[in-house]
Structure 1
Amino acid sequence: MFYTAAGESSPQFVTRVLKEQSDSADLLPASYHFYEQAVSGRRRRRVADPSQNVAAFLDTELSLQQLEGIDKHLWLAGAKRPPTQLHLQVAIGRNIVLADRIDLHLLWSGDGKLFVKPLSRFLLSPDFWQTHLTCLDFCPCSDRVESALSKESQPAIEAGHALPSNPTCKESLRKVARGFLYTYVCLVSTESDFTIAIDKRLLPRETDDSPIKWAQWQRFVREILAQHDSTRVHPRFVRAELRLSRINAIHRTKQFVFSEAYFGGWNNYSSFFRDNLAWIAAITAYLVLILTAMQVGLATERLQANTAFQQASYAFTLLAILGPVCMVSLVVLRALIELAKDLRVIFKQEKRRVNTSTA
């Protein structure tokens, strides 16, 4: 996909879904948000003009962020298969929600939300691919150079020395971009899907706000399919929709039990307690059923003299008493930790405001 016969990284699709624009900056968004590391160690969100530094913008726009760290465990959240068409997503009751972050693309939650990132207009431009997503000549990612480098670097590898990486190589960005485009090839395959994508503003529009043409989209999709290679896309896009709750669980397991969720957390303390106390209440109700059944069992002659059953009843009694107390304590501890974080941020902002006003 997007490779010439010689192994170079120039784009292969020639269909122009959008009308040609004189300035490539018109293909970019008005601004983009990114995070930078502050002196205090905390990350701060900034806003910048993408046309001033296209490379930095692409590093943010095509970054899977924290999903990169758990990519080996994605099999727990989704199967290896193409994404389901849009009209079927709607048919099974999913609500398509626009989320302009590629690391949220095709994540779905238990309340029926399916997060979909709108297709960026610059990814539909062959000229943009050629200018900003193509490596320089003789980049190590090229097939013809890779074989030559492997022979030259064999002595260094045998000696145990790591080969230097090429900071100008854009193969990682291309893998994400190819995978993202392939998901749209799967999502929008019929005119019904195309109509839904247009209505939901998932596909870019022309400069006069008119929708793109179905015939152009057909040709574009067929070009992509003709050269699709699963080894040339990022591993995340080999899998279709990912369950958000499992992504959150994997993310917390890889980090710390009290760490932030991958996405979706709680917006206020009332929702935090409501969600956490709900599953505690469910577990407690299940324990009550078990204890009730055990109480009936202890009333029978056969189980009154059963030592194993007596020990199990004793263990479940202690669990029913201490379990809810411990779980509620953990929830309260988590709430206190979040409160301490919020107060820390508030005090820092207030201190900064006072220092600014007195300066």
Structure 2
Amino acid sequence: MKQDHTQLPFTTRVLKEQSDPSDLLPASYHFYEQVISGRRRRRVADPSQNVAAFLDTELSLQQLESIDKHLWLAGAKRPPTQLHLQVAIGRNIVLADRIDLHLLWSGDGKLFVKPLSRFLLSPDFWQTHLTCHDYCSCSDRVGSVLSMESQPAMESRYPLPPPNTTCKERLRKVARGFLYTYACLISTESDFSIAIEKRLLPRETDDSPIKWAQWQRLVREIIAQHGSSKVHPRFVRAELRLSRINVIHRTKQFLFSEAYFGGWNNYSSFFRDNLAWIAAITAYLVLILTAMQVGLATERLQANTAFQQASYAFTLLAILGPVCMVSLVALRALIELIKDLRVIFRQEKKHVNTSTA
């Protein structure tokens, strides 16, 4: 069922309105563009020059959308846990200003949280940039009008959307879901104090924090307007386990693809992590072979053909298995080295060409 695309998630103004709407936006934003080689190149731009392009980057969940059918392996469908409980169970709140990292947690106790953007607390910004035209394709009205009138009759009777106007339903669902996570994270004054201390909430121009009473009114409005069909599917789930997201991402893409986030930053950590699980598997194989040696020393199993064959198979596995696994790790390291060298040589060549121009 389509939702009312013109209804704002809140009307409470928790921050003073800015005289210049561009003051709601960050100073700059980073985005990636595809280059001829197939790799991505990072760029920096002014968000006020193209707000639509900025929002496409700021509210992008493209990487998670590619594995959305498997997110059940990484997190349950439930509201996010309050901040004070996150701290109580030993999680360290780490600021990560990327919405695709919001509420991902790692095995070392980190919980990545995206600070709440200033522009998402402005009803005027929502009205201008996150609501659709009255007769956008995401509106309930379109279906009812088309069922009763012909297209020419509808066009003559109702206003048409401005040229080059795109539907904002996807961005709106991401923004609504993101707001809802904050309504869940900051439930009590204890949560509010943690959020203020961690700088998770935007501040006034004089650096004074949002008032608790204003936050109460805002959260109650957000909860009253909330519905699972109004938010992006990612925000139906609470915290997601980063290690499982990395496994799903690598399995879904390719065995040698990069991790979703938090890959190896140097070759020493790469070999340490990979050789650790190879050593664990090898130790387990040694334990099995030791038990088989004891079995072969008994008269009952010496004449058992099946046990003899199993012992032979495990012996070969113990010899060849670690060799093959170490070879795969070395191959992966070689592939990464070649990729790094290509980037270095390309950048060096570009720098030389720029200097001589």
Q: Which residue of 2 aligns with 1:63?
A: 60
* 2:144 is the counterpart of 1:176: no
Q: Which residue of 1 aligns with 2:23?
A: 26
Query: In the alignment, which of 39, 42, 45 is matched to residue 39 of structure 2?
Result: 42
* 1:16-165 alignment runs, 5 A limit: 16-149=13-146
Provide TM-score, normalisation by structure 1: 0.92
Cα deviation for residue 82 of structure 1 reads 0.7
Question: Deviations for 1:327-348, whole angstroms, at most 9, x for unmatched residues?
Answer: 0000000000000001001111
* 1:265-276 alignment runs, 5 A limit: 265-276=263-274
| Two-structure CA RMSD over aligned residues (Å) | 1.7
Question: Which stretch has the larger CA shift, 22-31 or 170-179?
Answer: 22-31
Return the letter of the residue paired with 1:10. Q
Cα deviation for residue 289 of structure 1 reads 1.0
* 2:345 is the counterpart of 1:343: no
Does the aligned pair in 1 maintain the 2:5–2:169 contact within 8 Å?
no
Aligned partners of 2:109 and 2:266: how far apart in 1?
Answer: 21
Aligned partners of 2:146 and 2:43: how far apart in 1?
Answer: 40
SS in 2 for 1:111: coil
* 2:306 is the counterpart of 1:328: no
Aligned partners of 1:293 and 1:192: how far apart in 2?
Answer: 56
Cα deviation for residue 288 of structure 1 reads 1.0
- Cα 1:267–1:302 change in 2 (3 A) is same
Does the aligned pair in 2 maintain the 1:98–1:115 contact within 8 Å?
yes
- Cα 1:65–1:338 change in 2 (3 A) is same
SS in 2 for 1:83: coil
Structure 2 unaligned blocks of 5 or more: 151-163
Return the letter of the residue paired with 2:28. S
- Cα 1:277–1:188 change in 2 (3 A) is same
Question: Deviations for 1:1-41, whole angstroms, at most 9, x for unmatched residues?
Answer: xx7xxx34231411111122222111110000011122333
Q: Which residue of 1 aligns with 2:315?
A: 317
Question: Which stretch has the larger CA shift, 331-340 or 65-74?
Answer: 65-74
Aligned partners of 1:139 and 1:68: how far apart in 2?
Answer: 23
Query: In the alignment, which of 12, 15, 38 is matched to residue 15 of structure 1?
Result: 12
Return the letter of the residue paired with 2:55. L
Question: Deviations for 1:70-99, whole angstroms, at most 9, x for unmatched residues?
Answer: 111101111111111111111111111110
Does the aligned pair in 2 maintain the 1:100–1:118 contact within 8 Å?
yes
Cα deviation for residue 136 of structure 1 reads 1.4
Question: Which stretch has the larger CA shift, 141-150 or 348-357?
Answer: 141-150
Aligned partners of 1:10 and 1:24: how far apart in 2?
Answer: 21
Aligned partners of 2:355 and 2:20: how far apart in 1?
Answer: 43
Cα deviation for residue 188 of structure 1 reads 0.7
Does the aligned pair in 2 maintain the 1:10–1:129 contact within 8 Å?
no
Cα deviation for residue 296 of structure 1 reads 1.2
Aligned partners of 1:115 and 1:260: how far apart in 2?
Answer: 19
SS in 2 for 1:96: strand
Q: Which residue of 2 aligns with 1:289?
A: 287
Query: In the alignment, which of 209, 215, 220 is matched to residue 218 of structure 2?
Result: 220
- Cα 1:292–1:167 change in 2 (3 A) is farther
